[in-house]
Structure 1
Amino acid sequence: MRFRRPPAVGVICLAALLVLTTPAHAKTRVDLGEDEVGLSDTLDRYREYRSWKARKNPLVDYAYARLCNVDSQHLESDIDGECSPPNGTVVLPGCDEDEPVMPLWRRTRVTVRSPWSNWEMRIGWACPDDLLPQLTRADFRRLTIEPTATHRQPGARGTVLVNKGIIGWVEPDERTFRTSLLDYGIDVVTWPVEYTWEFGDGHTLTTTSPGGPYPNRDVEHVYEQTGMFTVTLTTVWEGKYRVDEDEDHEWRAIDGTALTTATLAPFEVTELRGHLVG
């Protein structure tokens, strides 16, 4: 992938790597239920830029430009002209086959007639992948994933016999979603990877096989007692996502899993008895 260099005003970084002279910044904590995600200053600044880009506040201006001099008292760019000979080294991030994105600068003024302030670097050199939001486990688990279709043999009209058992299976279909994250359009695809069957008598079975109807016996359980039982299936889902603004349209693995639970209708396990007839 080759990342096209942005124009004077363009896309800003989500998680940019700053040059050596830029100190580490505090993080904003965002409550996502069971998980917390740290949003860096870079992400906050990116959101400010997107807001400005949508509304074009005349008192604020953004531009991309190279960083001239990392050892000077004030960070300088080549926006207003060529850089002076450097007295320090600007370290560019390694982006594999991608071209790093230039730093983003901002200037402000009090009124439309006031002079502009000096340019201030808001985001340093970054890789294109750093400019995209990450779909977290918490985001993944917010999606309403329809549980897998679950079946058993004997079926609802069949008789389940003690010491004979049942066979279970699922339909391991993918689920697709269209959602958004921080105003980015996101495509999500998820699929089942593990199944835990709870048979209602204290026994469980965990497997990666979806099973199948007879003669498949990957998911089989024999009941040793008669009575009413309910089978519950917990499915583990993995997934991938794609961000609209990614020029590569690359699918990225979601770091974490989601769970769904399906409960089959209760059924009775009976004992088959012989009877003498005249």
Structure 2
Amino acid sequence: MLVTTNAAPFHTAQSSTDRLLDSAPDFAGDAHGSSVSVRAQGASRREPSTGAEQPPKSSGAPRYQYRRIAASYCGGEDGPVAPGQRCVAETDGGVLARLCADGTGARPPQFRREIDDAGAPVSGWVQVDNGGCPEDPPAEVVVSASDFAELPLEPLPVHVQPARGSAVVGMDLIMYTEPAPQILSTTILGVPVTITATPVRYVWDQGDDQPLLVTTDPGRPYPDQTVARPFRRHGDYDVTLTTTWTGTYQVDAAGPQHPIAGVATTTSRPFHIHVVELHAHLVANP
């Protein structure tokens, strides 16, 4: 998406430069007007000289080329086109830019595209910030439902009792987990953002033909167990836990906690259970 500003006079834009980075920031930003939508990707670090986000180098990670590209228009200032697009029917156009209050040129929006190891592009340009002038209001950081669903949340652990990986037909299998919230922090366009994910719903699948066991209770171990159910027949089963998370986010470490519309889910690694069936027999002189 291309973002332009109409409030200031236009002038010829300065040429932009490219910047290469390995991997991707902890959260990538998508610009929408004055808002930035963020999504999780990987760990980030700081460029010592500029303080800008710069990801760590890692083998096999994506590489990106960054460029500030001034908006252009086709036959009028109300028809901007994105980088790489051409005017319809070769209509005369130009470059949109604006002067800041101090008389300097505004920074054009920044774009990035993925490149291969040889430096050849493998994707189109995607806008990652709005550029602008020092007097512009700070971007509003928004975490959407789709952003939240893509966060790298760790699945909750599965605990069962008996814990040795075996059970008996007709006897309760006790199930529980550790429902700790998870906190992810990053910096987007110079703004600190903290996201808190809280588990609220637990779905246990015992791997047999029984209905899923759905609860808002994370369960407890023996002797205070609250989530338990027996297997009906012998066999080998994989017990899994799917957790539903709700989220909030805080901007600049001091503002209010904003609720995130939507939820995220995680599924644990299967816990293998061998279920046996015991039979009683009458014997003489036990």
- TM-score, with normalisation over the residues of structure 2? 0.50
Match of 2:205 among 192, 198, 206: 198
Residue 182 (structure 1) shift: 4.8
Q: Map residues 214-233 of structure 1 onto 2, 5 A cutoff.
A: 214-233=222-241
8 Å contact from structure 1 (residues 163, 224) kept in 2? yes
CA contact (8 A) 1:135 1:181 kept: no
Q: Does 1:160 align with 2:167?
A: yes
Runs of 4+ in 1 over 6 A off after TM superposition: none
Give the one of 242, 247, 250 matched to 1:239: 247
1:208-237 CA distance string (max 9 Å, x none): 001111234431111111101111100011
Once the two structures are TM-superposed, the CA of residue 180 in structure 1 deviates from its matched residue by 3.5
Contact 1:191 1:238 in 2 (8 A): yes
Answer yes or no: is the 8 Å Cα contact 1:194–1:237 preserved in 2.
Answer: yes
Q: Given the alignment of the two structures, is residue 174 of structure 1 paired with residue 181 of structure 2, yes or no?
A: yes
Per the alignment, residue 254 of structure 1 pairs with 260
Q: In the aligned structure 1, how far is the partner of 2:272 from the partner of 2:169? A: 15
- Kindly provide the amino acid, as one letter, of the partner of residue 227 in structure 1: G
Q: Does 1:212 align with 2:220?
A: yes
- The amino acid across from 1:178 in the alignment is S
Which amino acid counterpart does residue 41 of structure 1 have in structure 2?
G
Match of 2:157 among 143, 149, 152: 149
Q: Greater share of helix residues, 1 or 2? A: 1
Residue of structure 2 equivalent to 1:187: 194
The TM-score with structure 1 as length reference comes to 0.52
**Unaligned stretches of 5+ in structure 2?**
7-28, 37-50, 52-97, 105-131
Letter in 2 for 1:260: T
The 8 Å contact of residues 34 and 139 in structure 2, kept in 1 or not, is answered as no
Matches within 5 A, 1:53-202: 107=99, 131-156=139-164, 159-202=166-209
2:171 match: secondary structure: coil
Contact 1:197–1:233 (CA<8 Å) still a contact in 2?
Answer: yes
More strand by percentage: 2
| Bigger radius of gyration | 1
Residue in 2 that maps onto 1:59: none
Aligned to 1:66: none
Q: 1:43 to 1:153 in 2, by over 3 A?
A: closer
8 A Cα contact 2:202 2:243, kept in partner: yes
Give the corresponding residue for 1:101: none
Matches of 1:41 and 1:134, distance apart in 2: 12
Q: Percent identity?
A: 31
Contact 2:203/2:243, CA 8 A, preserved across alignment: yes
SS in 1 for 2:99: strand
Report the Cα offset of residue 259 of structure 1.
Answer: 0.8
